[in-house]
C-alpha cells in the first residue's frame, strides 16, 4: 500500500506519473505536485491542502471528499473529474478548464474561478459563496440548489 513517504520518495526521484493508482485517504498536503499525472487515480478523501498542483492532470479521477483548501491549479484541462463533496475553499482555480466535472455538494467558497471554464458540469448543491466568478464560463452547467 502506498503512503505519504512513498509519494515523497517517488517525487524526489523525479516520478510524476501516478496514473491509475489507489491513493485514497492519503495526506498529500503541502507537497509540490507540479506537473504530476493523476489520470484515472482514486484520490477519495485525500488531503491536498496547500499543495502546488500546477499543470497536474486529474482527468477521469475520483476526488470525492478530497481537501483542496488553499491550493493552486494552473494551466490544466480536467475532463470527467469527480469532485463530489470535495472542499476547494480558497483554492486558486483561475483559467482552468473543467469539462463534464461533477462538483455535487462541493465547497468552492472564496475560490478564485476567474476565467475558469466549468462546462457541462454538475454544480448541484455546490457552495460558491464569495467565489470569484469573473469571466467564468458555466455553459450547460447544472446549478440546482447552488449557493451563490
Domain definitions of the chain by residue range: 1-9+16-148
Cα gap 71→26, rounded to integer Å: 16
pLDDT tens figures, 36-65: 999 999 999 999 999 999 899 999 999 999
CATH of domain 1-9+16-148: 2.160.20
- Mapped onto helix, strand or coil, the DSSP state of residue 132 is strand
Kindly list the distances between the CA atom of residue 26 and the CA atoms of 22, 54, 110, 121, in Å, as whole numbers in the listed order.
10, 19, 25, 26
Mean of the per-residue pLDDT values for the chain? 95
Confidence of residue 77 (pLDDT cuts 50, 70, 90): confident
Place of cell 447544472: 142
Q: What is the pTM of this model?
A: 0.92
The order of strands in the sheet holding 117-119 is 77-79, 97-99, 117-119
Kindly list the distances between the CA atom of residue 116 and the CA atoms of 95, 103, 111, 126, in Å, as whole numbers in the listed order.
4, 14, 11, 16
Return the pLDDT at 127.
98
DSSP type of residue 100: S
**19-26 contacts, C-beta under 8 A, 24 or more apart:** 26/2
Residue 131 has pLDDT above 90, yes or no: yes
pLDDT tens figures, 91-123: 999 999 999 999 999 999 999 999 999 999 999
Q: What are phi and psi of 27, to 5 degrees?
A: -95, 100
Confidence of residue 71 (pLDDT cuts 50, 70, 90): confident
Q: Which of 136, 86, 135, 127 is nearest to 108 (CA)?
A: 127
Which one has a higher pLDDT value, 41 or 77?
41
Amino acid at each position: 500500500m502506498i503512503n505519504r513517504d512513498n509519494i515523497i520518495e517517488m517525487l524526489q526521484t523525479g516520478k510524476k506519473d501516478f496514473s491509475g493508482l489507489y491513493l485514497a485517504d492519503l495526506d498529500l498536503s503541502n507537497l509540490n505536485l507540479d506537473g504530476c499525472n493523476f489520470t484515472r487515480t482514486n484520490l477519495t478523501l485525500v488531503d491536498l491542502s496547500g499543495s502546488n498542483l500546477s499543470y497536474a492532470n486529474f482527468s477521469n479521477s475520483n476526488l470525492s471528499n478530497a481537501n483542496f483548501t488553499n491550493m493552486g491549479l494552473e494551466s490544466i484541462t480536467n475532463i470527467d473529474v469527480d469532485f463530489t463533496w470535495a472542499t476547494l475553499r480558497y483554492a486558486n482555480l483561475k483559467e482552468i478548464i473543467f469539462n463534464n466535472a461533477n462538483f455535487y455538494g462541493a465547497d468552492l467558497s472564496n475560490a478564485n474561478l476567474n476565467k475558469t471554464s466549468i462546462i457541462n458540469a454538475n454544480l448541484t448543491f455546490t457552495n460558491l459563496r464569495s467565489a470569484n466568478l469573473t469571466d467564468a464560463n458555466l455553459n450547460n452547467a447544472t446549478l440546482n440548489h447552488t449557493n451563490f
